[in-house]
Amino acid sequence: MFSCFNILSLIQAAETTRVGMMKQAALNPDLSKFLVIGALLFIIGVAGVLTRRNIIVIFMSIELILNAANLNFIAFSRYLSAMGDVDAVAGQIFAVFVIVVAAAEAAIGLGIVIALYRNKETIWVDEIDLLKW
C-alpha cells in the first residue's frame, strides 16, 4: 500500500515539468492503451488457435479473441461518451450481443467436441483428418 502511495505521489510530482508531462501522457491510459491491450489479447488468441493441438484450448482461444473485441467496443463507447456522444451506449449493447453469440458458440462447439470424442476417441485436431484427402 505504501509503495502505491509513493508511485502516485511520484506521478503527481512529475506533472509539473515538461518531460514529466510527457511521461504522464504515456502512463495515464487513454483510448489507445485500451486498444493496444485489446490487440494483444486478440493476437494471443489467434496464436492459440493456430498453434495448439487440443481442440478445447482452441475454443478457449476463440473466447479470448471475442473478449478482445468486446474490450474494443467498450473502450470506444467510453471514448465517445466522454466526447459527448449520446448514442455511445450502442458499444455496450454490441458487447452484450457478442457475449450472447460467444455463449451459443461455446455450447454448440463443446457439443461437437463430445460427439467427436465419442466417435474418434481423440481431441487432437491433427488426428481429426476425415475430410483431408
Partner 1 sequence: MTLSGYEALFFWIFGLAAIFAGLLTVMARNAVHSALFLISSLVSVAALFILARAEFIAGVQILVYVGGVMVLFLFVIMLVNVGAEERGSDEIFNNQRQVTASLIFCLLLVGGMLYSINTGYRGLQARYPATPDVVAAQESIRDQEHAPSATGSSRITNDTESVGSSLYRYASLPFEIASVLLLVAIIGSVMLARTLKQEASADDVDPDFESR
Number of Cβ atoms within 10 Å of the Cβ of 79: 17
Number of Cβ atoms within 10 Å of the Cβ of 11: 14
Give the separation between CA 80 and CA 74, rounded to whole angstroms: 10
CB nearer partner 1, residue 1 or residue 19:
1
Closest approach, Cβ 19 to partner 1, in A, equals 18
Closest approach, Cβ 124 to partner 1, in A, equals 8
Give the interface size with partner 1 as a residue count (CB under 8 A): 78
Q: Which residue has the cell 468486446?
A: 70
Closest approach, Cβ 18 to partner 1, in A, equals 15
* Of the candidate residues 14, 20, 23, 35, the single one contacting partner 1 (CB under 8 A): 35
* Of the candidate residues 10, 13, 21, 29, the single one contacting partner 1 (CB under 8 A): 29
Give the separation between CA 74 and CA 38, rounded to whole angstroms: 10
Give the separation between CA 58 and CA 52, rounded to whole angstroms: 7
Looking only at residues 56 through 115 of this chain, which bind partner 1 when binding is defined by CB under 8 A?
Answer: 56-57, 59-61, 63-64, 67, 70-71, 74-75, 77-79, 81-84, 89-90, 92-93, 95-97, 99-108, 110-115
Rounded to 5 degrees, what are φ and ψ at 124? Answer: -80, 125
